[in-house]
Amino acid sequence: MRPPLKKHVTVALVVTASAFLVLATGAMAASGQGDPTRAATKSGSSAKQAFPRSYKLADDRTSHWAVIMSRVAAHAQPWQASPVKTMLDIATPEGTQNLVLILEGKDVTPAKTWYRVRLPILPNNSTGWVPATSLGELNKVNTHLYVNRANLTATLKRNGKTVFKSIVGVGHSYWPTPAGEYYIRDRLSGFDNPVYGPIAFGTSARSPTLTDWPGGGFVGVHGTNEPGILPGQVSHGCIRMTNESIVKLARLMPVGTPLSVS
């Protein structure tokens, strides 16, 4: 007789559960919670309120960068009709993949995002907005390079902690290394000219005068074949350090790292 008893108990449980479900559904419908139309309306209303939305992508410890996938205009504001500040190409003057440091993002709609980026133009510290569709994926860095022109030092921090420090040479007073906020744009090696040392980093910093960077105009961070002149105001604007130091820095600092010159 045990099998029939189990069957009856099961049926009773199903009936009881069904009745509870009907009652619960009715209660929800009366309050509007069970109305799919109203639920969709609420969801849609929340989505509309969420856009546009802005968010930071850079601080003292964590920053983001992305390569430029197609030539794009950097705008003054995050919309196409705003003034164009400059055009960004896919390659740097050195022939490397161009990239930008991303400061913040703005989701205009669920399908359209703009990023405010640092621009490698004069005046220094310029920023502009570019559509996300022209950039590659976002890459995160936890490093930040600080150059102090008064103390003639370069300090690399990772997650806020110092991991590298070196004496440096900076620009003469008439060829100054410009103060400001920049980023490491590329890494180069194999120079024919020993003045750059074994490794050099290109930055987004610009100088209104001719620098000793290949092609001029940009500020680089590189080694030197004259370590005896360091530290001091010894360059045309570039930041020099000993070859031993630049090799060590290269092991610790990836491209996309923010650069602060004070």
Rounded to the nearest angstrom, the gap between the alpha carbon of residue 173 and the centroid of all alpha carbons in its chain is: 32
Q: Read off φ and ψ for residue 172, nearest 5 degrees.
A: -65, 165
Report residue 81's pLDDT band, with 50, 70 and 90 as the boundaries: very high
Q: Is 153 exposed, middle or buried (0-12, 13-18, 19+ CB in 10 A)?
A: middle
Q: CATH: 2.30.30.40, 1.25.10.10, 3.20.20.80, 3.40.50.1220. Which one for 53-140? A: 2.30.30.40
d(CA 225, CA 60): 33
CATH superfamily of 143-261: L,D-transpeptidase catalytic domain-like (2.40.440.10)
Helices (H) and strands (E) in the chain, counts: 3, 18
Work out the average pLDDT over 106-135.
Answer: 96
d(CA 121, CA 93): 13
d(CA 214, CA 222): 12
Provide the mean pLDDT of the chain. 84
Residue 31 has pLDDT above 80, yes or no: no
Q: Does a cis peptide bond (omega within 30 degrees of 0) precede residue 52?
A: yes
Q: Which residues are registered as beta bridge partners of 97?
A: 91
Work out the average pLDDT over 123-145.
Answer: 98
Residue 92 has pLDDT above 80, yes or no: yes
Rounded to the nearest angstrom, the gap between the alpha carbon of residue 192 and the centroid of all alpha carbons in its chain is: 32
Q: What is the pLDDT of residues 3-26, one digit of tens each?
A: 443 333 333 333 334 433 333 333
Give the model's pLDDT for residue 50.
86
pTM: 0.80
Parts of the chain belonging to CATH 2.40.440.10: 143-261
Cβ pair 150, 170 in contact under 8 A: no
d(CA 120, CA 95): 15
Q: Does a cis peptide bond (omega within 30 degrees of 0) precede residue 4?
A: no
Residue 235 has pLDDT above 80, yes or no: yes
Parts of the chain belonging to CATH 2.30.30.40: 53-140
Q: Read off φ and ψ for residue 245, nearest 5 degrees.
A: -70, -40
Give the model's pLDDT for residue 197.
94
Give the model's pLDDT for residue 49.
60
Q: What is the pLDDT of residues 187-231, one digit of tens each?
A: 999 887 898 999 999 999 998 777 667 666 899 999 999 999 999
Give the model's pLDDT for residue 64.
98
Give the model's pLDDT for residue 207.
85
